[in-house]
Chains A and B, each alone.
Chain A
Amino acid sequence: GNSVTQMEGPVTLSEEAFLTINCTYTATGYPSLFWYVQYPGEGLQLLLKATKADDKGSNKGFEATYRKETTSFHLEKGSVQVSDSAVYFCALSSGSNFGNEKLTFGTGTRLTIIP
């Protein structure tokens, strides 16, 4: 079956540091890949996504590239801010011809940025 493995946290960085959160996946076919973010006390929001190999998703300074050869979708940001403190989830979508997208999630990585 499908699975997502992401870097265990918590991760603590200083403001303006470089961020990488690793994510690898196992899936049949050609899944779409997502990063979701959950700020304290809130639900999940889509951060970025990529739907095919070599696609790069980007948003709010975050980037991730769909690497089929390494089955990875690592999240990166060049200079983090305190407001980036949140829990980050990597996920894949196993869509079918019926459009029944179901997300399989990683366990989440809690990120804390210190001023």
Chain B
Amino acid sequence: DVKVTQSSRYLVKRTGEKVFLECVQDMDHENMFWYRQDPGLGLRLIYFSYDVKMKEKGDIPEGYSVSREKKERFSLILESASTNQTSMYLCASSLGGTGSQVVAGNTIYFGEGSWLTVV
């Protein structure tokens, strides 16, 4: 089975702190994603990466950055945490590929989520 592991399930941080959320996948997937989940808003894409050292902004990248130094690891960074970043953060991965390797409807696999509270 595909496993996407988020290192921290629950975090409490202070306003202004630098926060790292770590995610590791064990299926050699090309694509990795960070979403945040808020009541009434569903899931919104923050950043995604389709290769090592490659990243693209999602729908709500402001206040966040990411790092992908190794294929299996994708980190979300809050440079200076603010209370409006209190949320559940979900990491995900998918097979990816290019050209003929693309398979329509590749499944995206999610981790269990990290609950972040900024006080």
Which A residues have a C-beta under 8 Å from some C-beta of B? Answer: 32, 34, 36, 42-46, 49-52, 89, 93, 95, 97-108
Contact = CB atoms under 8 A, between A and B. Distances in A.
A105 B36 CA distance: 11
8 contacts: A32-B105, A43-B90, A44-B43, A50-B105, A93-B105, A99-B30, A99-B101, A106-B42
In this complex, the member of A46, A99, A107 whose beta carbon has the largest number of chain B beta carbons within 10 angstroms is A99
A70 to B, nearest CB: 20
Interface of B: 4, 30-31, 33, 35, 40-45, 48, 50, 56, 58, 90, 92, 94-99, 101-113
Nearest to B114: A43
A10 to B, nearest CB: 11
Given A100-B31, A100-B96, A105-B42, A43 B105 contact: no
A99 B111 contact: no
A51 B101 CA distance: 16
B96 to A, nearest CB: 4
A100 B107 CA distance: 12
Contact of B96 (A34, A99, A107): A99
Contacts of B97: 99
B90 to A, nearest CB: 6
B107 A107 contact: no
Given A100-B48, A107-B42, A44 B96 contact: no
Contacts of A105: 35, 42-44
Contacts of B98: 97-99
A42 B4 CA distance: 12
Contacts of B112: 42-43
A39 B30 CA distance: 27
A99 B105 contact: no
